[in-house]
Structure 1
Amino acid sequence: MIETNLVDFRSLAQDPSASRRNELMKGVASLFAFASERCTLEQIEIYDEVLGRLADMVETEARAFAAEKIAPLRRAPEGVVRRFARDSEITVAGPVLTKSPVLSDRDLIAVAGAHGNDHLAAIAARSNLSEIVTDMVVERGDSRVRRTVAQNTGARIGDRALDLLVRQAMTDLETATALGDHPDTPDTVIGRLVDHAEQEVRRALSGRGMKAAEQGLSEAARRAGERLTNSYWIGQYDFETAWEKLMQQGGSRVASEALLCQYAIEDRFADVVAVFAVLADIDLEEAKHWLVRVDTEPFVVIAKALGLRFTTVQAMLKVGPWKHRLANEQRGQALNQYQQMEPRFARARIAAWRQTRLAV
């Protein structure tokens, strides 16, 4: 059995009372939420082990309390967050599915494929949804889930999801109104709705009240503004823990393009940044800024100078913030720039940049 300074599991297993286990779960979760930003990697792993073990011993209400405490944390115990996300009780799964920055697209797609509309609705309400997750949620969800996606101005809506949403919007006023405000909805789609939707929907889209329109546009502008700031995206990830893990594993001895590509495919953005910083011999702070900004040129130059394969660059352009911030056209331009750039030119750029830094 596990024994830590936080919980004596031997004693706990012998106690028939559920109330003590429930209170321990709440206490440990509250303690971690308070101290998470100051915890070391080892401490986070201990909390992860303890909370995961307790999650199998407590009642739904205690798990739901812990999920609410842990859900918004940037530095959260990954194992228990994923365990809560898979919980059959939506009061437990809902908070982490909606709020946790720890969950990757792979995690969200796995939950979306295994659970019903309550879990799908929680995912649909996340502040940012990539196109691949939006597709899955819209395809599997009911009308309520699709309506939530349409209302979520932080969701990237591709052609597959848009087609299903438009079908619903033809007869559903709320969905049609939300699509009318969504930044990813083309004008041609609005025109299609006005031409072919039911009379109530056409009337709403053609002459919505000014107050409702202003509220919708204000929310869309707020979400769009968040997407435009590098600091917003940097704040979503725990780079320090990723760096600490990499250093413990051997740092430059284990950092490789294969590892970089693996992390990119798995959508582990903080780990991508840590490995990239080591390979490029740049500070972690510089790496995370260069890999969130919309201007991808610095990344392309370094990638060429390092001799990264085309497939690795392609995977990196779809990881972390770039899966939300870059349009397909921008990714294509970055890949074309990478292919056309001469390696010696890239290395000269890096050398000049390093000389400039030394001279400052």
Structure 2
Amino acid sequence: MTANTHQLQKLIQLAQEQSSDGRRELLREITDLFVESHAEVGEQESRDFAEIVGHLVYDVEMEVRQHLAERLSTLDNAPHNLVTMLANDEIDVARPLLSNSPVLKNADLIKIIKKRSQEHLLMVSKRADVDEDVADALAEFGDDEVLESLARNDQAKLSRGTAQTLVSRSEKHSPLQEPLITRDDLPPDLINQMYFWVSEKLRERILADTQGLDESMVDGLLEEAQASIVNQMAYESNADVEPSPAEKFIRRKALLKQLNAPLVVELLREGRMAEFLEGFSRLTGLDIKTAQQVLSDTTQQALAIACKASGVEKDHFSALARLTSSDGTLDAADIFEIIDMYEKIPVDAAQRTMRFWRVRQTAGEDIPA
């Protein structure tokens, strides 16, 4: 008797079996037989198996469905309808299929992501073949745990939009930060956005990785990032907005060649915060939002990078650091420490980091009026 003939007999027996115990045992036996002889199973036998088992599977205990899902999870010719049915079952049944089954296609996974629990999404995020469409859906519907799992999946393919979503979420959810920064495929401009909210250790990693980038690679990455930001800003911008008095003041100073570090320090001392922010932004080449992030960094390291890259001298940097500190004062030891930090930052490393921080400002200049 061939395996196919034996399987057919068992299927007929299963369809006729009335007792729940008998169905349970037959279903286990047929599942094992199908898996063990899957290389010999033809399309018709596979359809018969899926049809009969699919009708009966919810009449048996979860333990039996778990066994069925586990055995089918590694087969590339398992019946598609049966696999998708079980993948939508309770998580204890669906787990092996969601994480492993080669039968589940992108469309199947995206439907599951949209309709099922976060536990289902978590299993999908661990798959070895997560492509951009699936990752996009996970980023849209997943909670922090799902996004962290996705970030840790080195084989997952992330679109720029999904990478940006993960980076943005990492500001509030710190466990996302390290797996994102250590990924090989995350755009450096997005990694450099994270500088303002990650730990000292991760900041050092960002600076080291940025310094090691090839210059031509940096140019290409910035061009791509700038194009993406231009599209976003063009959608959001309003070209008819009247410049503020502070912006007009700084523009005039720039035209008169009077915009420099001493002026910016003096504006801060006088408490003219709007003019100071506009002046600091213009002096460093940063957009207002990024300039605010630099000035809000309590470690003063971001300020040191911005000043070093922009040619702001040590004395003016220390004045800015003192005046922007939490209480507006720094003792002698603090001043010594931040000046030492400023002096130890290589100019080329600071300038390369600033190229990424400036990308949004550069993109804004490319938006047609």
TM-score, length basis structure 2: 0.51
Per the TM alignment, residue 73 of structure 1 is displaced from its structure 2 partner at its CA by: 0.8
Structure 1: 5+ residue runs without aligned partners?
209-360
SS at match of 1:76: coil
State the identity as a percent: 27
1:45 maps to: 47
Q: Which residue is 2:140 aligned to?
A: 139
Which residue does the alignment assign to 1:197?
197
C-alpha distance in 1, partners of 2:21/2:205?
Answer: 56
Q: Is 2:161 aligned against 1:163? A: no
Partner of 2:58: 56
CA contact (8 A) 2:122 2:145 kept: yes
Segments of 5+ residues of structure 2 without an aligned counterpart are 1-6, 207-369
Give the Cα–Cα distance (whole angstroms) in 1 for the partners of residues 93 and 203 of structure 2. Answer: 38
Q: Distance in 2 between matches of 1:59 and 1:206?
A: 54
Equivalent of 1:29, from 4, 28, 31? 31
**1:92 equivalent in structure 2:** 93
2:14–2:23 Cα contact (<8 Å) kept: no
- SS across alignment from 1:74: coil
Task: Tell me the matched-pair count.
Answer: 199
Counterpart contact for 1:28–1:51, Cα < 8 Å: no
Give secondary structure in 2 for the equivalent of 1:182.
coil
Q: What amino acid does structure 2 have at the position aligned with 1:133? A: V
Aligned equivalents of 2:22, 2:203: Cα separation in 1:
55
SS at match of 2:10: coil
Q: Which amino acid aligns with 1:191?
A: N
TM-score under structure 1 normalisation? Answer: 0.52
CA contact (8 A) 1:25 1:63 kept: no
Distance 2:43 2:182 in 1: 43
Answer whether contact 2:73 2:101 (CA < 8 A) is retained: yes
Q: For residues 121 and 92 of structure 2, what CA distance do their matches in structure 1 show?
A: 13
Q: CA deviation at 1:34?
A: 1.0
Selected match of 1:6 from 10, 28, 37:
10
SS at match of 1:6: helix
**Which residue of structure 2 lines up, in the alignment, with residue 272 of structure 1?**
none
CA displacement, residues 64-111 of structure 1 (integer Å, 9 cap, x when unaligned): 111011011111111110111111x10111111111111111111111
Give the residue type in structure 2 aligned to 1:192. Q
8 Å CA contact retained: 2:74, 2:101: yes
For residues 183 and 5 of structure 1, the distance between their equivalents in structure 2, rounded to whole angstroms, comes to: 53
Q: Which amino acid aligns with 2:41?
A: C
Counterpart code for 2:169 = Q
Indicate the residue corresponding to 2:127 in structure 1.
126
The SS at the match of 1:5 is helix
Supply the distance in 2 between the matched residues of 1:133 and 1:37 (Cα, whole angstroms): 30
CA distance in 1, matches of 2:125, 2:84: 17
Alignment of 1:1-360 (within 5 A): 4-7=8-11, 8-9=13-14, 11-12=16-17, 14-15=18-19, 18-87=20-89, 89-193=90-194, 195-198=195-198, 200=199, 202-204=200-202, 206=204
Q: Distance in 2 between matches of 1:59 and 1:152?
A: 33
